[in-house]
Chains A and B, each alone.
Chain A
Amino acid sequence: MSSFTALFKKEIQLELRRKHTLAGILMFVLSTVFVCYLSFQNIESTKTWGALLWITGVFTAFNAMQKAFASESNGTQLYLYSLTHPRYVILSKALYNALLVALLNLISVFFFMLFFGMEVLATADIIQFLVGLLLGSTGLGLALTFVAGLAFKSGTGVGLVAILGFPVIIPLLITMVRHTTFALEGMSYLQNSLNLVVLFVLNIVSLALAFILFPYLWRE
């Protein structure tokens, strides 16, 4: 357990040290929202709002994952990992990335509210929307971390994450877009709860698969 927390802390420290990667992703979010603002000026329908939010969210996640395993080619990292079980490696990386994507998506929601105002959200059930957003983002982070690991190990470069990752996240994408649209329109908890349950289950399935399969990936 202590090695897990140590690895987790290491991830955070590395990210804080190299702030430019995080800043790059935030710039991406800001510029995307700004371009949307320039084209739309004013969003009337909640569906458009939800769609734009998830377009930004998915590509932010992909962006963040490109750098996920970038630091691994350094020799010292491998020495660190030889001290711990690879399960802790993937657990720490996956959870870190899940939280990172969730945070980035919250920030993008904030930017959206800043530029487009809160009128569109008048009918929305905010708590439900935020819960769905968080579950969807963590799901993206978990699934894409694993795919990024695969892509890193194959050694061909960054394009592979998108090719492998996109089909993998589609069930997640379908469910979370549906949930967000309904939550923004103000559907009650009960009617929408099935979507939440599916999101949660997909999260667990992604984490379980990554947990089981990663040691095979990491064998050197």
Chain B
Amino acid sequence: MKLWLKIICISLLLYAGVSSLYHPMTPGGLSVSASELHPGRNDFTFTGYGSHFNDAMSSLQVFVTSDTSGVYCAEVLQVVDNAHVIVSVFLPDTLSSNNLGFFANNDLDGTMFVESPLGSEGFTFVKGTANDLCEYKITNSEQQFFGFPFQPIIMESIRNLMWHVPMWFTMFALMIFSFAFSIRALGKNGGAVIAEYDLKASASAGTGLLFCVLGLITGSVWARFTWGAWWTNDPQLNGAMVVFMVYVAYFILRKSTPDEDKRARLSAIFNIFAFVLMVVLLMVMPRFTEGLHPGKSGNPAFSKYDLDSSLRSVFYPACFGFILLGYWLFTLNLRMKKIEIEHETTH
């Protein structure tokens, strides 16, 4: 592989690595301390993540909304520290609905939002009940603070985007190489050329399998601390496991065919089968079914609403860097296999 490609690969991965770990998170609302609200005065603590309640005390504003119509300003009782503020809000008897949102706003952090499923007793719900008395401000946090978007359950682990997802993109790229080599291996009529392409197909499939394993392990770890389980019954996860099994079966087939010409032909055929299966499992089936894994309803990877511009600025370089790394490892694997064959024939 050319030296300039290697340098690009290393610099992209260094940039993505450093950026994914040090790029700041946008402040967001973490939780509210109340377990239920009732008409009249309610005191609760608003907890933020990465917020600056203390530093921007003068511009701090906390309010509660019911749907989009009713907004009720809360009075700040005490700013405990940068992350906690105790507030008191007065709620009337009638609210628009049980759909409550808790907002905090200041100049440094923009708007932080907590959606908390609280119980509410003693209210009557009339849709469209409005309240004009509160002057509130909602600003787009991303404009003020160019950080990674904050999601309540995912929190900091959104940085995993740069480490887990490129594994799959790299695997896909390597399997496309493998597929292309397999097709060439079937087409030509010369024995040496077939063996060459077959070796390349096997090397790229092996490297792709490495990235598949890494993707599965990192995905499982991420899932355990986000969704609570090491594995869920999701079509993309199950599909990824089946892709792993299919390519392992590919290598078992290669091991069990001692004759070289036959091995080349059979494994090329199975590789084509396996690639079509992978495309069906990872791109076609998830579009038709529901699951926990992000990016459903039409696009199994990402819809344009999923990927924020700050994330994209690190994600695309990371993907590209990992694909280059995958190609680099493939060339190393290929050279190793060639040396091993050469060594076997001369000894």
Question: Which residues on A are within 8 Å of B, measured CB to CB?
Answer: 146, 150, 153-156, 160, 163-164, 166-168, 170-171, 174, 194, 198, 202, 205, 209, 213, 216-217, 219
Contact = CB atoms under 8 A, between A and B. Distances in A.
B221 interface: no
A174 B280 CA distance: 13
A150 B252 contact: no
A194 B288 contact: yes
Interface in B245-282: 245-246, 249, 252-253, 256-257, 259, 262-263, 265-266, 268-270, 272-274, 276-277, 280-281
Interface residues of B, number: 28
B238 interface: yes
Contact of B273 (A163, A174, A213): A213
B277 A167 contact: yes
A167 B252 CA distance: 13
B186 interface: yes
B265 A217 contact: yes
Contact of B245 (A160, A167, A202, A205): A167
B126 to A, nearest CB: 36
Contacts of A160: 252-253, 256
Contact of A213 (B235, B242, B252, B272): B272
Nearest to A208: B276
B242 A216 contact: no
Contact of A171 (B252, B268, B273, B277): B277
Contact of B266 (A166, A167, A217): A217
Given A170-B242, A170-B281, 13 more contacts: A150-B269, A153-B262, A154-B257, A154-B266, A156-B257, A160-B256, A166-B245, A168-B246, A209-B272, A209-B273, A209-B276, A216-B269, A217-B266
Contacts of A209: 272-273, 276
B285 interface: yes
A168 B277 contact: yes
Contact of A163 (B238, B242, B249): B249
A77 B18 CA distance: 65
Nearest to B276: A209
Contacts of B256: 154, 156, 160
Nearest to B255: A156
B266 A153 contact: yes
Contacts of A219: 265
